[in-house]
A and B are shown apart, each in its own frame.
Chain A
Amino acid sequence: MKTVIIKYNAGNVQSVMYALDRIGVDYLYTDDEAEIRSADKVIFPGVGEASTTMSYLREKGLDKIIPSLKQPVLGTCVGMQLMCRFSEENNTTCMGIFDVDVKRFPATPGIKVPHMGWNNITNYKSDLTKDLIDNAYVYFVHSYAAPVCEYTVATCDYINPFSAMLHKDNFHAAQFHCEISGDVGQKILENFLKL
């Protein structure tokens, strides 16, 4: 099996690589189109800001390559947000795989934004959440989120319910960081790699 982590100007993807090491999976970290297209599984991680990241993806043509992929793709955190239609973060047009707009958490007295830390997810209906305990806790760090929509396969509640995970055809996405979400995150990654 060939697993590719898409290389772009994302912040630290080291922890994603280490998570795959722990599972015992080899991976290639690349932005080469042929390598990406020939992979069995593609991981699109993300730490960063939406507009600069989208510009970079456009420069490299990755904004066209990613939506055209046929194999299972997993986007995480900002990776998930960039797979949506639009992000309020610097009013960024994204790749539009999921027809939903990413919005900033509304300012709410006494509640901090970013949403940072461990929160539970509910209403799972994804192959990636198979065999997960109910109300599993995963680690989030984000100020923007996709609302609950037709592609939502797991929800989380912070100020409002939002999409913790999305799924459409071969595209899967998680707002949280699977790679540092303990045994739960590891299980989700393993489930993705087994697709």
Chain B
Amino acid sequence: MLTKRIIPCLDVKDGRTVKGVNFVNLRDAGDAVELGALYAAQGADELVYLDIAATVEGRSTFIDLVRRVAHTINIPFTVGGGISSIADVSALLHAGADKVSINSSAVRNPDLINELALEFGSQCIVVAIDTRYVETSAGVFEHIVHTHGGRKPTELRTIPWAKEVEERGAGELLLTSMDTDGTKNGFALELTSTISANANIPVIASGGAGNMEHFYDVFTEGKADAGLAASIFHFREIDIPDLKQYLQNKALPMRMTK
């Protein structure tokens, strides 16, 4: 049976993880390769590496990191941050990334999604959508796509945008609710469910995970295909083996590695 996926996300800058990491058994907690390898060994189903600086100077360091990650781990991983051209994607895939995630560049130039899907195949093109529930100029509350780490609203409504990126050739959606992100009060279930039910491609839910039940909720009520989180894994508030066992005990299909 196709399993639900658990995906830790690592924010990196200059090749090192930036969010504080509380793994005492790691020689170097800032080493993004070592941390990724640990998650893979613990049973993470995929990894996401985000280049949060995404500067021109930092790009070669990031590509070097991607190469080292690909050499080390034997599960799929996605990379994102500052990707805006076919050349960017080509460099990252050739370094060994399995998928790339685009966000602001897709909003700026939606044709990029079509071009990347045609060039590299939909299976490796993830479109990340940062969304926030805000009052529009018309005075109504709507889910609106945001860029710049969720700070800058766009003109795009989230639900039709999700459908559009699929039609343009995205292979997967990474949906982050800026309303729930960082709250630890749970994922945005209603929106995730609406988007996943509308989509014929997998939806990775992100933002708001605080406990194991939140993952159960996003896989059932939220209809998500995968759940992504960062700090709760980095700070070991939830251990991946415990989380997967918990979800399996609640009859969700999980890939158990031990």
Contacts and interface: CB of A to CB of B under 8 A. Distances in A.
Interface of A: 11-12, 14-15, 18-19, 21-22, 47-49, 112-120, 137, 139, 141, 157-158, 177, 179-183, 185-186
Contacts of B75: 139, 180-182
Closest 3 CB pairs of A and B: A137-B255, A118-B255, A14-B96
B76 A180 contact: yes
B199 interface: yes
Nearest to A115: B2
Contacts of B123: 47, 114, 116, 141
A142 B201 CA distance: 12
Interface of B: 1-3, 5, 40, 45, 70-71, 74-76, 93-98, 120-124, 171-172, 199-202, 225-226, 255, 257
B1 A14 contact: no
Given A112-B199, A112-B225, A116-B171, A183 B1 contact: no
28 contacts: A11-B93, A11-B120, A12-B93, A12-B96, A12-B97, A14-B95, A15-B96, A18-B71, A21-B71, A47-B123, A112-B200, A112-B202, A114-B123, A114-B171, A114-B201, A116-B201, A116-B202, A117-B45, A118-B255, A119-B2, A137-B257, A141-B123, A141-B171, A177-B76, A180-B75, A182-B74, A185-B74, A186-B74
B120 to A, nearest CB: 6
B2 A14 contact: no
Nearest to A17: B96
Contacts of B2: 115, 117-119, 158
B37 to A, nearest CB: 11
Contacts of B199: 112
A158 B1 CA distance: 7
Nearest to A120: B1
Give the one of A118, A179, A185 with max B CB within 10 A: A118
A49 B45 CA distance: 25
Contacts of B122: 114
A117 B71 contact: no
Contacts of A157: 1
Nearest to A142: B123
Contacts of A112: 199-202, 225
Nearest to B196: A112
A14 B93 contact: yes
A18 B121 contact: no
A22 B75 CA distance: 13
Nearest to B71: A18
A153 to B, nearest CB: 20
B35 to A, nearest CB: 17
A120 B171 CA distance: 22
Contact of A180 (B95, B98, B255): B98
Nearest to B203: A112
A45 to B, nearest CB: 13
B76 A12 contact: no
A18 B93 CA distance: 13
B3 A137 contact: yes
B3 to A, nearest CB: 5
Contacts of B201: 112, 114, 116
B74 A117 contact: no
B107 to A, nearest CB: 24
Nearest to B226: A117
A84 B132 CA distance: 47
Contacts of B5: 117-118
A107 B124 CA distance: 22
A18 B75 CA distance: 12
Contacts of B200: 112-113
B71 to A, nearest CB: 5
Give the one of A115, A177, A182 with max B CB within 10 A: A182
A167 B149 CA distance: 49
A21 B2 CA distance: 29
